């Protein structure tokens, strides 16, 4: 809380902060896009195949497969699984970057220059994460559902037109709102927890590695905990 409080100060130079914010958007957003795309497509594909495998009754219409895939991807896989992966990708990067800056006295150098290092280094990361991670989650939803469609048609499980019909039927827009709410909470966890561990590293390279690992583990646990709380409260 003290770290977060220290972030809110008047920027020394708004343009420099904006530049750092854009840099972080690129690092967190573009830098994680590849892995998010790959995971999403395969998760959607596997969901379709496994759902079809379990729905053995001929009384259940095929389009149910599409509905199950859609809802699991939107409600759970896209926000939670992708954010757990992002905690590893973006979270460890944030922790190790700040840890390295701390150990090599770059943070002290900023402070000596009269720059609020918390505001300059941490705030742009958190704001960038709050903007880019929900966007990545939306992309993950689309790609996950598309991956399911692709696997369904390629394996001959469900024709594309029936899959598309299933996607539209009984669609609950609130699920998307719920997923986005979760992604904002997770984005805050993914950026603030590693920032805390990285910023407060003491020691050398070994401690940076430890801080990075601890940051990812704590972030993942908090994401799962927040997932449960939010599901209990909002669903």
Partner 1 sequence: MIEVKKIQKSFNGKTIIEDVNAVMKAGQCNLIIGASGSGKTVLMKCMVGLFQPEAGEVLYDGVSFTQMNDEQQTEIRKEIGMLFQGSALFDSLNVEENILFPLNMFSSDSVARKKERVNEVLERVNLPGVNKKYPSELRGGMKKRVALARAIVLNPKYLFCDEPNSGLDPQTSLVIDKLIRDITVEYNMTTVINTHDMNSVMEIGHYILYMYQGHKEWEGSNQEIIFSKNQRLNDFIFASDFLKDAKDMRMLEQRGKIDPERNMDDLLK
Instruction: Compare residues 109 and 221 and give the one whose CB is closer to partner 1.
Output: 109
- If one asks whether residue 64 binds partner 1 (CB under 8 A), the answer comes out as no
Q: Which stretch binds partner 1 (CB under 8 A): 62-70, 101-109, 122-130, 151-159?
A: 101-109
User: Token pair of 231, please?
Assistant: 């599901």
**What is d(CA 113, CA 95) in angstroms, rounded to the nearest whole number?**
23
- If one asks whether residue 54 binds partner 1 (CB under 8 A), the answer comes out as no
Quick one: CA dihedral 25, 28, 31, 37, positive or negative? negative
Closest CB 97 distance from partner 1, rounded Å: 9
Q: Which stretch binds partner 1 (CB under 8 A): 40-48, 109-117, 146-154, 183-191?
A: 109-117
- If one asks whether residue 154 binds partner 1 (CB under 8 A), the answer comes out as no
Closest CA to 221 of 79, 84, 38, 70: 84
Q: Can you tell me which of 112, 168, 172, 229 binds partner 1, judged by CB under 8 A?
A: 112
- Site for partner 1 (CB under 8 A): how many residues? 16
Instruction: Compare residues 32 and 183 and give the one whose CB is closer to partner 1.
Output: 32
Q: Which residue, chain included where needed, has tokens 């994401």?
A: 223
Q: Can you tell me which of 58, 114, 156, 173 binds partner 1, judged by CB under 8 A?
A: 114
- b/e string for 178-200 if b means 16 or more Cβ within 10 A? bbbebbebbbbbbbbbbbbbbbe
Q: Residue 58, Cα to own-chain centre: how many angstroms?
A: 38
Q: Which stretch binds partner 1 (CB under 8 A): 106-114, 138-146, 159-167, 221-229?
A: 106-114
**What is d(CA 201, CA 197) in angstroms, rounded to the nearest whole number?**
6
- If one asks whether residue 105 binds partner 1 (CB under 8 A), the answer comes out as yes
Q: Can you tell me which of 111, 210, 213, 226 binds partner 1, judged by CB under 8 A?
A: 111
- If one asks whether residue 100 binds partner 1 (CB under 8 A), the answer comes out as yes
Contacts of 8 (CB under 8 A, 6+ apart): 119, 123
CB 24 within 8 A of CB 90: no
Quick one: CA dihedral 133, 136, 137, 138, positive or negative? positive
For partner 1, the binding residues in 2-41 under the rule CB under 8 A are: 12-13, 15-16
Q: Which residues bind partner 1 (CB under 8 A)?
A: 12-13, 15-16, 100, 104-106, 108-109, 111-116
């Amino acid at each position: 809380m003290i770290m977060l409080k220290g972030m809110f100060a008047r920027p020394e130079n708004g343009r420099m902060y904006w530049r750092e914010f854009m840099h972080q958007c690129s690092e967190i957003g573009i830098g994680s896009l590849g892995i998010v795309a790959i995971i999403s497509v395969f998760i959607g594909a596997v969901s379709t195949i496994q759902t079809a495998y379990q729905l053995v009754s001929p009384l259940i219409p095929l389009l149910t497969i599409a509905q199950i895939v859609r809802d699991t991807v939107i409600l759970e896989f896209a926000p939670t699984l992708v954010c757990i992966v992002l905690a590893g990708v973006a979270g460890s990067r944030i922790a190790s970057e700040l840890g390295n800056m701390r150990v090599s006295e770059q943070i002290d150098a900023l402070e000596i220059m009269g720059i609020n290092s918390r505001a300059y280094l941490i705030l742009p990361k958190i704001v960038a994460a709050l903007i880019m991670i929900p966007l990545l989650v939306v992309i993950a939803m689309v790609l996950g559902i598309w991956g399911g469609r692709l696997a369904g048609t390629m394996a001959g499980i469900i024709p594309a037109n029936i899959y598309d019909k299933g996607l539209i039927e009984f669609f609950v827009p609130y699920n998307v709102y719920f997923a986005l709410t979760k992604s904002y909470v997770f984005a805050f966890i993914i950026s603030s927890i590693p920032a805390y561990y990285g910023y407060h590293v003491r020691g050398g390279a070994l401690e940076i590695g430890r801080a990075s690992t601890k940051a990812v583990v704590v972030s993942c646990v908090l994401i799962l905990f927040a997932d449960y709380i939010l599901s209990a409260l909002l669903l």
